[in-house]
Each structure stands twice: as C-alpha cells, then as structure tokens.
Amino acid sequence: MKKLSVGAWITCVAVVLAIVAFFVYSGNIGGEGYYKDAAVNNLPLMVWGAAAALAVAVALRAAKGGKVTELLSGVLRIGAPCLLAWALMNLIAGRVDGLGYIYFSNADVAKEVQTAANMGSAQSAIWSMGLLGAAMLVAVAAAFFSLRKKDA
C-alpha cells in the first residue's frame, strides 16, 4: 500500500462511488413507487464490471510487473469510465420518460401521479444517475494520474 499514489486512491474513490450508485439503483427498483421492478438491462453487469476493472487496474500496478501489466492497467483504466458512461446513458434512457411523467404532468394528472412513493422513486433515480455520473467523472480524472509512486 505504500507504493500507491494519489491516482490509485482517486481510482478507489471511483470504485466506491460506482458501488454506492449500484446500491441506490437497487433500492430504486426494489422499493415502492414508479420504478418498482423497472430494471435497466445489463446495468448491474456494467457497473460491477467497471468497478472490477478499476480494482484490477490498481492491483496490477501495485504488483511488480512489466510493460504488459502496465498496458493492461491502462486499458482497464480507460475502459472502465466508458463502461460507466454507457451504464449512465442506459439509466437515463430508461428513466427519462417516467421522470417527465412524474414531474411535468398537467395539473389534473399530477395530483394522482405525484404520490410520496412515486416522488421518492423519482428522487432515488436522480440520485443513482448523479452518483453514477460522479463515479464516471472521478474515474476519468483518475486516469490522468499514475497508479504507483515513483521510486526516489
């Protein structure tokens, strides 16, 4: 752990944000409200895949390795934010109609639609999008930093 740099710690923050975003998403589809049982195809696979890719990238760079491990680590650090972005786009695409319906219905329909359960479900969807976006941006930023401290 002494050899890990700021880039490795930022990458770990991205992993934690991705996992938290997944659990908020899981609560969104598991709880009551508009999005109950409205799962987005392959979203868990994309989020867990990105988190695993980032964790493996840090583990590879922490180990003594040559050019192959350095190259593989770099590919994983570039691919993971792409996977998170793809997950975010799928989540937005799967939630935008419902959010529009809940928040922007006419006054007559809004009284029926804007129940406490539906509003909580909509807020949870927005939180999961925000956390997933934050994980993606942190992972992109982490890719600009080295994962291992330079030997003095």
Q: Provide block-wise average pLDDT over 10 residues at a time, the chain (152 residues).
A: 77 96 94 89 94 92 79 91 96 93 86 89 95 97 83 54
Task: Tell me the two tokens of residue 67.
Answer: 């050019």
Residue 70's alpha-carbon distances to 1, 55, 65, 93, in angstroms, are 17, 14, 7, 35
pLDDT at 131: 97
What's the pLDDT score for residue 152? Answer: 47
Tell me what pLDDT residue 88 has: 96
Our CA dihedral for 41, 43, 44, 46, rounded to 10 degrees, sits at 120
Q: What is the pLDDT of residue 73?
A: 87
CA nearest to 31, candidates 122, 116, 121, 101: 121
- Pick from 50, 47, 71: which is nearest to 61 by CA? 71
* Best CA proximity match to 126, nearest among 152, 103, 149, 151: 103
pLDDT of residue 7: 86
